[in-house]
Amino acid sequence: DAKTTQPPSMDCAEGRAANLPCNHSTISGNEYVYWYRQIHSQGPQYIIHGLKNNETNEMASLIITEDRKSSTLILPHATLRDTAVYYCIVRSGLNTDKLIFGTGTRLQVFP
Amino acid sequence: GAVVSQHPSRVICKSGTSVKIECRSLDFQATTMFWYRQFPKQSLMLMATSNEGSKATYEQGVEKDKFLINHASLTLSTLTVTSAHPEDSSFYICSATVGAGYYNEQFFGPGTRLTVL
């Protein structure tokens, strides 16, 4: 699996957009970018995934660069409940393929 | 969305005893389930991949005789920590994938906190 690089921590003011970057320069053509988050002492929660086009759902937007070597997860209006560790993971789209979690970004949303 | 439950949510046991953790997919059939372990302030570490009706595939460094995984039905997988020791104290999390094929995300259970005294 391709490895990802994320900043260890970020802060964001409540109500502002949180932009979480991820570098995945060794991603291969059939690999997707997945984002999960883990709120303290809970199981991870799926957020979004994409291959090469930008994606948006009710939780977030995912912007993938044209060369696919990096991406940004955008939480458009961060709330205190969005405080969590965010993981960017690269894997194939096959549902039996395992997720390998890196160290993630600890996002702290402050009032 | 798909719901995955785990039981118990937390367990405390004495050193040398065995502990069983259940992972259930409540509203879908899961052909593949995964087991993770997470130590404090660390990331999730995949322990094994479990397919219904077949033996689990363990990650390198995970003792299969110590962490017994059974996936006897499409909605239930169990992890048994045998002869538990204090170093096995951790947060154990399972996940399951919906359906077969591509593009399906993994849904995670709430986790089980194991404390071995």
pLDDT per residue over B45-95, tens digit each? 999 998 888 889 999 999 999 999 998 888 999 999 999 999 999 999 999
Give CA torsion, residues A62, A65, A71, A73, to 10 deg: -30
Residues recorded for chain B: 117
Please provide the DSSP assignment of B7-22 as one string. Answer: E-SEEEE-TT--EEEE
DSSP 3-state of B6? strand
- pLDDT below 50 — which residues of chain A? none
Task: Look at residue A91 in the predicted model and tell me its pLDDT.
Answer: 85
Nearest CA in chain B to A31: B103
Q: Which of B5, B45, B71, B102 to mutate to test the interface with A (most CBs of A within 10 A)?
A: B102
Contact A62, A18 (CB under 8 A): no
pLDDT tier for residue B104 given thresholds of 50, 70 and 90? low
CB contact under 8 A, A96 and B110: no
Task: Look at residue A96 in the predicted model and tell me its pLDDT.
Answer: 64
Question: Could you tell me which of B5, B56, B52, B58 has the C-alpha nearest to residue B29?
Answer: B52
Name the residue among A43, A46, A102 with its Cβ closest to that of B110. A43
Nearest-CA distance B116 → chain A (Å): 18
CB contact under 8 A, A101 and B100: no
Task: Look at residue A95 in the predicted model and tell me its pLDDT.
Answer: 60
Chain B contact present for A44, CB below 8 A: yes
Nearest CA in chain A to B99: A95
Name the residue among A45, A95, A104 with its Cβ closest to that of B104. A95
pLDDT for B101 beyond 60: no
Task: Look at residue B18 in the predicted model and tell me its pLDDT.
Answer: 97
Chain B contact present for A34, CB below 8 A: yes
> Residue B28 CB: number of other CB atoms within 10 A?
17
Mean pLDDT of B19-33: 91
Round to whole Å and give the CA distance between A26 and A58. Answer: 29
